[in-house]
A and B are shown apart, each in its own frame.
Chain A
Amino acid sequence: MNPSRSRLRTFRIFARPFSHQFQGFLFVLPCILLLVLVLGFPVATAVVNSFAPIWSEVKKFTLENYIKLLNDKLFWNSLKVTFIFVISTVLLHLGVGFIVALALNAEIKAKRFFRLIAILPWTVPDVICGLIWRFMYNPTLGIINAILMSAGVTTRYIEWLASPKLVLPSIIFADVWRGYPFVMIILLAGLQAIPREQYEAARVDGATTLQELIYITIPNLMRVILIALALDTIWQFRRFGLIYNMTLGGPGHTSEILSLYVYKHYFKYFNFEYASGMAVVMAVIMLIISYPYIRMIARKA
């Protein structure tokens, strides 16, 4: 072999570990290790635990937790409540977020100030939001009933969080108040990326505002809307602090979402193995929900 070609070949073999891809991998390696430690280990423990008998010191493999789940009415109830909560809040976040984003995208004075005001609810932690709204919803001490009674809207103390019919709408309202800014920010960024020329051209052609919305705004925003929907759905599925502080799942399991039910079995009843089984089921559901989003991101990459 030609010595120079041999040296080049040797160099390429030696240089292979230092390719751009490998360098990139090395730079993210600490982060991956941390994720494996913080996420991977607990997930693996939960999966292993889910196949162990409840409260048993002898860890033998069993499917009893999953069989129990199938017959657990409260588990299915919590799943139903979760889906109602997630679907309602995600759609309302989108609706309210879209309207506010459109308003903030307009050329108005003090635009930055209004954007700041619009984002403020999102800065309130979940737990604090739950506590604030619980106080506001209090039938005799809360400000909501006080205002409604002063305005003559009602003469009775409305039991916002104590009524099975009103509890979920009340929680959803509080969650939409806190959560819409997240979707609003994403949509606002998308709106600002739409070329102005499209609107100008449409106006020249005599398009109305509604037609601009339907034929320009929404089609251009479709990808952004899907991303916002996907992310919001995943996050809403995991919602916990707000409902924990408002009702702890009451009255009578009517607001008991799955994350709360898992929490109770883990930290209140110490049924670690059974709770692990539910957590695994919850994780599988969330993987299924997030699969379209992951595919979208992977395709883009």
Chain B
Amino acid sequence: MSLKLRKGMIFILLLTSFLLVATIVLPGGKKPEVVEIVFSDWHLTEPHWEKALKEAFVIFEKENPNIKIKLDPISYGEKETKYTTEIEAGVGPDVFHLHAYSIKSFMEKGYLYDMTPFVKAEGPGFTDAWYAQTIELMKKEGRYYAIPGDFMSMVLYYNKNLYREAGLDPAKPPKTWDEFLEYAKKLTRDRDGDGKIDTWGFGTIGAISPGFELRFTPILFSHDGSYLSEDNKCSALNTPEAIEAMKFFNDMVTVHKVIPPGVTAQDPGTVRTQMANEQIAMLLGSGWTPPIVDTNNPDLKALEVLEAAPVPVKAGIRPKLTTTAWLSAWMISPNTKHPEEAWEVVKFVTSKRMEEKWFKDARVLSSRKDVSGEYDELLRDKFAKIIAAELEHAKFVPQLKEWPQIIEAINTAAQEAFTGAKSPGQALGDAHDQINEILSVYRASGEKCPSF
């Protein structure tokens, strides 16, 4: 190869490398007139929600011609992973949606844009539209990092046709856990006469899943139990109430067998499919349950066949707080290049008219008082009125950045008890110790927690 040719090839190689780097490193051209906001939500993977959001954004773009919305669907299970990775990399959607489960961790890691100037610019009383306990969770040291979205209590859903078949009165759902167990046993039967059980009384989540918390917590709270001590420095799983709640939960699987086999592999989607196929007669759910069950099996006519009732309580006690609430929130990425426009999107999706639309289209209740407390269609709905009424008996789980690790320890303990790997007491005891270890960061040196 001649010297000239070699030099030429080297030159071309170096030029190509330089151009490649330049396209990556150098900033783009002048700011466009229309701003694109990337909007990410797991609801975009649910057909009824996707339709509702797309309709909403047609309205938004008409009212805000300088803002274009780009939709970014994400699976529910993967949203934290995706957002964490993107935000750490300096990119990510401008506006995204999270469950309250993750808000504290995201706040502590600095993954949320400080919306306080925008909130203050809306004028005094702007946040009065929301339930106080929901707005409080959006704040850190007095500053706003999110705006609340869906807010719904967990309730008991049951199939009234299966109730009738089993000789139970659908107008009289169980009020205590003892009644619930009796109902569940009657509902667990062989319906097609082939000698195998094909319908079980109750379905629940036993897989490692954020959905486990929403299903176990009502059982714990309605037994008057708690996860942590009042000061959130120690586990409270060593109390008789917590032990009884875990034993009850476990016995449904191992002793009474009113839950379908394979509970430790059952995630929210599986349980809803079981409800849609009439493999289970009852489950704990909230506003999202009927439309999803209906989508899974339209032939069931879930909106007619399902009924809702408050979560049962332990007989003989009247705990004030018997259930927990689902809360979601909207936030802006700290990496957004268009915070004002992103704020307009957040304001839009949490506005009264949009929250009413979310209820109409997806049957979700709102953290806005002027919707969940006043919207006529919501208050007349057979499911929503129960869910709204139970909000006063609902308590959030502890809001700590360590919460995902804590709840997974309890989720795992439940699995170990279900499978017989450990007794319920032993499993709960190990979870108790693990949680105390996790919470040691909040205790002074020498400060100890009660043992199990």
**A interface list, Cβ under 8 A from B:** 15, 18, 23, 26-27, 29-30, 33, 55, 134, 137-141, 149, 155-157, 159-164, 247-254, 263-264, 266-271
Contact = CB atoms under 8 A, between A and B. Distances in A.
Nearest to A17: B10
B419 A162 contact: yes
Nearest to B208: A248
B55 interface: no
A253 B412 contact: yes
Contacts of B208: 247-250
27 contacts: A15-B3, A29-B17, A30-B17, A134-B265, A138-B270, A140-B198, A140-B274, A141-B274, A160-B262, A161-B262, A164-B419, A247-B207, A248-B207, A249-B208, A250-B264, A250-B412, A251-B265, A251-B416, A252-B264, A252-B412, A252-B419, A254-B421, A267-B84, A268-B404, A270-B105, A270-B108, A270-B109
Contacts of A266: 84
Contacts of B17: 29-30, 33
Interface string B69-111: 0000000000011001100000000000000000001001100
A251 B421 contact: yes
Contact of B265 (A15, A18, A29, A138): A138
Main secondary structure of the interface of A (DSSP, over half): loop
B78 to A, nearest CB: 9
B264 A18 contact: no
B409 to A, nearest CB: 10
Q: Which 8 pairs, one residue from A and one from B, show the smallest C-beta to C-beta distance?
A: A251-B264, A139-B262, A252-B416, A162-B262, A251-B415, A248-B208, A161-B265, A267-B81
B82 to A, nearest CB: 9
Contacts of B274: 140-141
A228 B295 CA distance: 47
Given A30-B16, A157-B262, A267-B85, 10 more contacts: A26-B10, A30-B20, A140-B261, A161-B265, A162-B261, A247-B265, A250-B264, A251-B418, A268-B404, A270-B109
A89 to B, nearest CB: 20
Interface in B1-50: 3, 6-7, 9-10, 13, 16-17, 20
Contacts of B7: 18
A271 B109 CA distance: 10
A171 B408 CA distance: 22
A139 B253 CA distance: 14
A26 B262 contact: no
Interface residues of B, number: 49
Contacts of A30: 13, 16-17, 20
B232 interface: no
B404 A26 contact: no
A156 B196 CA distance: 8
> Which of B262, B263, B412 counts the most A-chain CB atoms under 10 A from its CB?
B262
A250 B261 contact: no
Contacts of A15: 3
B186 to A, nearest CB: 19
Given A268-B80, A269-B405, A162 B260 contact: no
B297 to A, nearest CB: 12
Nearest to B195: A155
A161 to B, nearest CB: 4
- Interface centre among A30, A253, A254, A270, by most chain B C-beta atoms within 10 angstroms, is A270
A270 B401 contact: yes
A27 B16 CA distance: 11
Given A26-B13, A250-B207, A269-B402, A162 B264 contact: yes
B277 interface: yes
B273 interface: yes
B188 interface: no
B279 interface: yes
Contacts of A141: 270, 273-274, 277, 279
A162 B405 CA distance: 21
Nearest to B104: A270
B323 to A, nearest CB: 25
Contact of B80 (A248, A249, A267): A267
B407 to A, nearest CB: 10
Nearest to B413: A252
A27 B9 CA distance: 10
A164 B277 CA distance: 27
Nearest to A33: B17
Contacts of A134: 265
Given A55-B108, A162-B265, A267-B84, A140 B279 contact: yes
Contacts of B16: 30
Contacts of B209: 248
Contacts of B413: 252
Contacts of B207: 247-248, 250
B269 to A, nearest CB: 10
B196 A155 contact: yes
B63 to A, nearest CB: 37
A162 B264 CA distance: 5
Interface string B272-294: 01100101000000000000000
A149 B198 CA distance: 13
A82 to B, nearest CB: 18
A159 B265 CA distance: 9
B6 A23 contact: yes
